């Protein structure tokens, strides 16, 4: 890919090293085009990832294995390669404007969902937006891919619908595609739980179950079966934190909807509120 003189000038102006907080910068080109430039990051592993690593060693579930980015130029190059692969397969991802090995420039595609959803004063309007995002994620899965970390901040509402960005994690290096897709769906529901009540979250999960492939649903049943008692303990102990509350809500929703799905009851329009 040839790099325009203007974008090359932006690349040349970048500092040699940046903090994780500053590694993505916004730039406006002379024609008004907004681009986002990402530089390599340091490894993102935290104490929680180390705990997850040892849990995965003790519990024989590949889906629990950490997939955190190892950072550096190699991780940025891998993300560039995944963006090209997804785009070639018709997956709606951000347009790559330039890549030189030390920086990746992508074209602004719209507003991220984590900015759109909190601004919605009518909370009932949030579910259709998240259903649209969930449908786009299911389409990505049906094309034979996984996202890795489908956070709402990594989904943008573009002119023609949902656009994906930020493919830093590579779960297929440690788990099967079905497990990676199951992990995608659970993570997406967990990140969505911040914006939905229990009934709306159940409705979102219902749509995700309906679109999931049989082997992905099977992986979800195993994963949720493991998480359910953990979530129950965390809830009983009243462990603080938004992430914990969202994980508990997502696990409860998945347990209920998967159970109803197995019984064939979710198609009847039964009340989806958790019991």
- Separation between Cα atoms, residue 145 and residue 117, nearest integer Å: 26
Residue 143 to residue 230: CA distance in whole angstroms: 32
Residue listed under structure tokens 């994963």: 223
Q: Band the pLDDT of 1: cuts 50, 70, 90.
A: low
Whether 102 and 113 map to the same domain: the answer is no
Q: What total number of domains does the chain contain?
A: 2
Residue 102 lies in a domain: yes
Quote the domain boundaries for residue 216.
109-268
Residue 51 has pLDDT above 60, yes or no: no
**205-244: b (≥16 Cβ within 10 Å) or e:** bbbbbebbeeebbebbbebbeebeeebeebbeeeeeeeee
Query: 44 lies in a domain?
Result: no
Same domain, yes or no: 187 and 99: no
What's the rounded Cα separation, in Å, for the pair 208 and 220? 11
| CATH code of the domain covering residue 102 | 3.30.200.20
- pLDDT of res. 57: 56
Asked if residue 170 has pLDDT above 90, the reply is: no
Q: What percent of the chain has pLDDT over 90?
A: 66
The pLDDT value given to residue 193: 97
Residue 275 lies inside a defined structural domain of this protein: no
| Band (135; pLDDT cuts 50, 70, 90) | very high
Domain identity same for 4 and 30: yes
Domain co-membership, 1 together with 130: no
Tens digits of per-residue pLDDT, 172-188?
Answer: 888 999 999 999 999 99
Q: Whole-model pTM? A: 0.86
For residues 94 and 16, give the distance between their C-alpha atoms in angstroms, rounded to a whole number.
25
* Predicted pLDDT of residue 18: 79
* 78-119 tens-digit pLDDT: 899 999 999 999 999 999 999 999 999 999 999 999 999 999
How confident is the model at residue 47, as a pLDDT?
Answer: 45
- The strand pairing partners of 158, in sequence order, are 161
Residue 58 within any structural domain of the chain = no
Residue 50 lies in a domain: no
Same domain (yes/no): 159, 264: yes
Do 95 and 172 lie in one domain? The reply is no
In a domain, 259, yes or no: yes
Kindly report which listed range (130-134, 189-193, 238-242) carries the lowest average pLDDT score: 238-242
Residue of higher predicted confidence among 217 and 41? 217
Note whether 15 and 103 are same-domain residues: yes
> Does residue 156 share a domain with residue 92?
no
- 99 and 218 share one domain: no
Q: Is the pLDDT reported for residue 123 higher than 80?
A: yes
């Amino acid at each position: 890919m040839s790099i325009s003189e203007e974008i090359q000038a932006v690349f040349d102006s970048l500092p040699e090293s940046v903090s994780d907080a500053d590694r993505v910068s916004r730039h406006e080109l002379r024609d008004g085009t907004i681009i986002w430039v990402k530089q390599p990051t340091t490894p993102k592993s935290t104490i929680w990832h180390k705990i997850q690593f040892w849990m995965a060693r003790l519990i024989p579930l590949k889906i629990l294995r950490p997939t955190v980015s190892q950072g550096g130029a190699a991780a940025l190059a891998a993300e560039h390669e995944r963006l090209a692969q997804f785009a070639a397969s018709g997956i709606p991802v951000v347009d790559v404007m330039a890549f030189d090995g030390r920086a990746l420039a992508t074209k602004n595609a719209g507003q991220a969902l984590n900015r759109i959803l909190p601004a919605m004063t009518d909370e009932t309007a949030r579910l259709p937006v998240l259903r649209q995002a969930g449908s786009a994620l299911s389409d990505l899965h049906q094309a034979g891919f996984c996202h890795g970390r489908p956070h709402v901040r990594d989904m943008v509402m573009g002119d023609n619908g949902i656009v994906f960005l930020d493919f830093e994690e590579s779960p297929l290096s440690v788990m099967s595609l079905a497990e990676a897709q199951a992990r995608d769906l659970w993570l997406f529901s967990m990140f969505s739980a911040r914006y939905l009540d229990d009934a709306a979250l159940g409705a979102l999960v219902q749509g995700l179950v309906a679109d999931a492939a049989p082997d992905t649903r099977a992986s979800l049943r195993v994963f949720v079966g493991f998480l359910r008692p953990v979530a129950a303990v965390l809830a009983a102990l009243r462990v603080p934190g938004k992430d914990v509350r969202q994980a508990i809500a997502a696990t409860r929703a998945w347990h209920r909807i998967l159970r109803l799905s197995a019984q064939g009851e979710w198609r009847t329009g039964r009340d989806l509120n958790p019991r």
